[in-house]
Amino acid sequence: MKTRSIGLGAEKAVAKLLESRGHQILAQNWRTPVCEIDLISRQRKIIYFTEVKYRHSATQGSGLSYITPSKLKRIKFAARIWLQQNNSDDDWRLQAAEVSGLDFENIELVEIT
């Protein structure tokens, strides 16, 4: 399976989990020429911007370790752009989803700041 299709599979698995937890998916793979966000969802009056990281197994290390300070800065920038483009003044949060397993069966969600 190619990297792009693996990433999309992981994002779909996370979207399904978020929906099962009461989130409405607003966008998947939202992109501009300068930034991107894997998943954008709403639960109640809070917008969630979710970065999805997939690892086939734990031997590849934690996907969350790839969210460096510079990556976090880019995620925040993208979130602010989306909020501005959508005229949203809702509260918002950043979260990361670490996904592993052949069928994307292991998902850990953590809030990031």
Domains of the chain: 3-112 (3.40.1350.10)
| pLDDT of amino acid 103 | 85
Q: Which two tokens stand for residue 105?
A: 């069966």
Tokens 């809702």 correspond to 90
* 40-47 CB contacts, 8 Å cutoff, 24+ apart: 40/82, 41/15, 42/90, 43/18, 45/90, 45/91, 46/90, 46/91, 46/92, 46/93, 47/79, 47/83, 47/88, 47/90, 47/91, 47/92, 47/93
Q: Which two tokens stand for residue 62?
A: 């934690």
Residue 99 pLDDT > 80: yes
| pLDDT of amino acid 57 | 59
Predicted confidence (pLDDT) per residue in 23-76, tens digit? 999 999 999 999 999 999 999 999 999 999 887 655 655 667 678 889 899 999
Residue 108 pLDDT > 80: yes
Evaluate if pTM is beyond 0.85: yes
* 50 CA to centre of own chain: 2
